[in-house]
Chain A
Amino acid sequence: MELRQIDAFRWEIPRHGKMRVPGRIFASERMMADIRRDKSLEQVANVAWLPGIVGYSMAMPDMHWGYGFPIGGVAAFDPDEGVLSPGGVGYDINCGVRLLRSDLRRDQVVPHLDELSIALHQAIPSGVGSESRRKLGDRELDDVLRRGAAWVVAQGMGRRADLDVIEEGGTMAGADPALVSARARERGRPQLGSLGSGNHFCELAYVAEIFDERAAEAFGLFADGVTVMIHSGSRGFGYQVCDDSLRTMLQASQKYAIELPDRQLCAAPLGSPEARAYFGAMACAINFAFANRQVMTHHVREALTSFFGEGPQGLGLDLVYDVCHNIAKWENHTVDGRERKLCVHRKGATRAFGPGHPAVPARYRAVGQPVMIPGDMGRYSFVLAGTEGSMRETFGSSCHGAGRTMSRHEAKKRAKGRPIWRELQDRGIWVRTDSLGTLAEEMSEAYKDVADVVEVVHGAGIARKVARLVPMAVVKG
């Protein structure tokens, strides 16, 4: 595949074949050597085939081979000419990350990590097929699907202020439970408030480094301050919504004569009944995920305040922000000097709105939207802020994580005979899991160094470094 290097952080796939726009990739030269080894560049080119795509088919530096869109893919579509593609959102709809800050200092928790990690593990149902503490009735499930995190807060699990710092306020508009299959309901019903398995986690960390004092202060972060990060999505509910939609979308692609280089990119015109139906069901899954992370936040707050003998408002466990990784939504962006309403798909990418944007909560508006970039469990994660650069170049988007460098299979092979949990504990990181297999698959070496990814987005100006977090206790699904 022909690839032109534009500068230290930008690459272009020139238009060829049936591509409607060029591809734009954010990566360093060293990372590009890795990226070239799989099929993700071809996937960037494939996305550019879709009708109504605006500007570029983009990929963030943590890009890797997915199905349909590459993981790390961003694409925006014109409302009249464009399409909605479930393959541009993925199976784990609204998989995302939220960060809590606290008044706790590192030295207050380090002596208790053994017990604290057990307390967190007990507080959050985790692992394959993990189930919540109570099964939702039909009407409750409808409420979750319509109202997301707002419903959970109304149930007494959380604070109204939490909703101010969740993308979409924790409630995606346009959700219609009538558009969701019985199967999706059955898969989701027992799972609200559970972590799941794979790369999902809940992590206690401390602020190891601050790069931007002003933004860190706005986010409530200070040196050695303790944070909690939760990474999870819409569980079986979202997988089933995606699966169900592909059936309709494959037929829709034929009906509307949309030429596809990969069937997983199947799509329907944005105004069509098929696209509207997927949007209504996807919004339900988005709300399920917001609600899921909100319930787990409640469990974490309860576990930590009871551990340290504080009241519910104690410890200053405030939500910093909650971002989505897999989503399609309507946003206004300036293209060639003109403001346009576009349907932005982010698959393994994070919204990163810059300073002054009205969708950024008032208290962060001067510094930009918080963007959390989890690394692997043995190294570090980053907190960034959105910039004017992301608004100008990437439809207000940035990277979402480290990205794997090793297959799960390969990681398991290399971890054989090694007590991964002990290696981590020797470095001061207490890991709790129900599955040693997951631990092996998720070991540090299986991931790229997230610092490399962050250097690219910072260098390219599509996000700005604010702080680096180092894990102390990790609950793995």
Chain B
Amino acid sequence: MTRGWRALDHTADLALSVWAESEAALLAQAARALVCVMTDDARPGPRRSWDTRELALDALDPEDRLVRWLNEVIYLAVAEGFLTRAADVRLDGNGLAARLAGERGAVATELKSATYHDLHLTGDGGRWRARFVVDV
């Protein structure tokens, strides 16, 4: 499997480009990418130390859903020490429901929030792409 994301150069902040075969998979991929950035790309720990979480959220539209989802992932990491390593995302109208698998740990790079600025989310058929800016 290819990595599915890369960091783009952005002077003040961090921009990420993410791709996947469906919108739900794209959301999961974006969450993994953010956690990689927050842990300085450190490999996940052994699976036996993993834990799971469930969450659901509402949003105004698909772009808003992406930002809100990423901010949930950031909150779990910085406030609860839960590092999302995989997610099963189900779209639900403009919202979503997700089951997250991850490990307990501390972040190495603090991210403030995902932003709506310069946000692109496109997709059709089996090719979905997003790029977004994160305030570091």
Contact = CB atoms under 8 A, between A and B. Distances in A.
B64 A67 contact: no
Q: Is the interface of A mostly helix, strand, loop or mixed?
A: mixed
B135 interface: yes
A405 B11 contact: yes
B114 to A, nearest CB: 9
Given A39-B118, A187-B79, A437-B40, A128 B108 contact: yes
Contacts of B118: 39, 67, 262
B116 A408 contact: no
Find the residue from A90, A247, A410 having the highest chain B CB count within 10 A.
A247
A65 to B, nearest CB: 6
B115 A239 contact: no
Contacts, number: 90
Given A67-B117, A262-B116, A196 B12 contact: no
A197 B106 CA distance: 14
Given A264-B117, A437-B108, A91 B135 contact: yes
B115 A264 contact: yes
A64 B12 contact: yes
A202 interface: no
A404 interface: yes
Interface in A42-101: 64-68, 71, 87, 90-92
A404 to B, nearest CB: 5
B60 A128 contact: no
Interface magnitude class on chain A:
35 or more
A91 B112 contact: yes
B11 A197 contact: no
A242 B71 CA distance: 12
A129 interface: yes
Contacts of B135: 67, 90-91, 239
A216 B79 CA distance: 43
B121 to A, nearest CB: 12
A435 interface: yes
A140 interface: no
B110 A129 contact: yes
In this complex, the member of B10, B71, B117 whose beta carbon has the largest number of chain A beta carbons within 10 angstroms is: B117
B78 A236 contact: yes
Contacts of A67: 13, 115-118, 133, 135
A220 B114 CA distance: 42
A183 B68 CA distance: 14
A355 interface: no
Contacts of B40: 437
Which 7 A-B residue pairings sit nearest by Cβ, starting from the closest? A67-B117, A263-B116, A264-B117, A67-B115, A239-B112, A91-B112, A264-B116
Interface of A: 38-39, 64-68, 71, 87, 90-92, 128-129, 183, 186-187, 196-198, 236, 239-240, 242-243, 246-247, 250-251, 262-264, 266, 404-410, 435, 437
Given A67-B133, A407-B11, 11 more contacts: A38-B11, A64-B12, A67-B115, A67-B135, A87-B117, A239-B112, A239-B135, A243-B113, A247-B68, A250-B64, A404-B11
